[in-house]
Structure 1
């Protein structure tokens, strides 16, 4: 059985986000198609997890973290053996630690990278790091991007066009089947509020959550925020200090509760403010559950998932007024909301199933083995 090793800086259960979910989808789909799948990441200690989805995860103890780039001496020392013990390497960009190790070692195994997004947070460092990125991409056999829009917003990718393939994110539908009932307190919570907009994701700087709180002041209905992250305490303080009684911060929720919250919601909102939001896994989940969407135009795959005036509204980023206007329209206009809801599931079936997208990775893996 051929082995695929995914390499990224973060993964379940240490963190829970859309990118981790995307990696899990890739891995479980490959396992279903006869591959042995491993994810290599870093964590607070060195340990191994064997998940029921067929994915084995090996965490290496983190030594330090600089600008969201965790480094592990144990991982670095083990990298050569990780490469030797697999048939295919599947990297996930960006993680400078892994990229520099690729440049240091002479890798002779077939390798692809899913280029999720460019580096956006610290632009001076990006300029210094860019030459290394280009050398790294030269050594990789195949570059997968979630949307061709990235070719416009990330100019240096153009020089690698001959080995770029568009592979969008997708959903493993089994994730939401045979789940236990939602927790009683979640059921009770949804009964106390009426129509609500739902945000799901890691509470990071680029998610636009401050803009969402600004918009809440112009919305009569409720907003539910699901997720954990660095911004949790600040958001909690804003909600309390500004008396935003229609905003509810629920923290992380397991899939049984998450499914229930999506099904009961009036819309899915993703108010991100920077292209670090490469695709938006929750937008896909919204399509799957036939929910209208509100997102922002970032020049990334988010507007591929949410087609303006077809599955929902796409507004300019950073504008609480525009965000509130789009949300109010969907929360109060049943005709508009039902039209977008109907279109949402058709859009999912046409473009984002495991067959439509996941099989592209299977073809790449098999071409490497040939």
Structure 2
């Protein structure tokens, strides 16, 4: 069996497309002007040769129209007017300046396009008043409609392309923000635990030379586990940037089913973490809600370990009919007065952006009885963000 390769025909692009358009328009104009070569003679041959040269010049001016739209439109309009003044044959050369006007408008220059279209109408109207019987009032009115429509169509094309480019830029910015937020949550959480456990190991070795090594070994074991988890999640997050053809990451997306791992890591850092779940278990959460909830709890515990100086943390989750509610409360001083030697981060901002991306909201601030509270509402189905980020009362 002989297999025949199917070659996909691709339209020309760039300058090849410009040359193809100029050649195609010249062929169209030439076919419409054949009467000047084969029909009864109405003008001398030198005049006919001049008109064909003008047709070639006008169509050739379409080649640089995208690089120099206004200049090309002026040239095609001038050559077309000379053509109709010297030729006794009414060829379809008017299509050339019409295409040039469309290019000017599509390039985002509506004023230039309107000015050139008005000049063409004025010159055509002047010729009609001077005795050119080929164009009457009805034809002039129809020509006005054509020119207005062409300019409007070109401007609509320009506006559509501008909106598409803006939407693409916005999508790229949102994706970059999402990746940055994931990297911040993954790297920040585990590196914070590594920092806390390393400092604890050093303190134990210095203050308790006898029993310190055993306790320091426990802290270093926690450092080892945190660094391993950080590498695993970092590889999974960077998977979205893999090259075409590379294997997709196989690690599961973290969710509240791994809340126990977060709690255990926080306990190794010296925090007394208690988890309360309100309401029945219910069906599995949507993946985006499950991931956002996990990251919010993760970032909250990271902030507690780094900044607050707290010893106790309470994590409360509640599954309502329409949304998941999270509340993380500690007995520390909050991120507004961080532990000396630590730099402020953007964790609360990132958590708030996660909640708003799902149509929910997040608040963070001092608790009524002291400490600090982070509270979030994450709807199961995307909806408009809550007004001014206000959450319903607990």
TM-score normalised by the shorter chain: which range applies? Answer: under 0.3
Higher-Rg structure is 2
Structure holding more helix per residue: 2
TM-score by length of 1: 0.21
Higher relative contact order (CA 8 A, sep 6+): 1
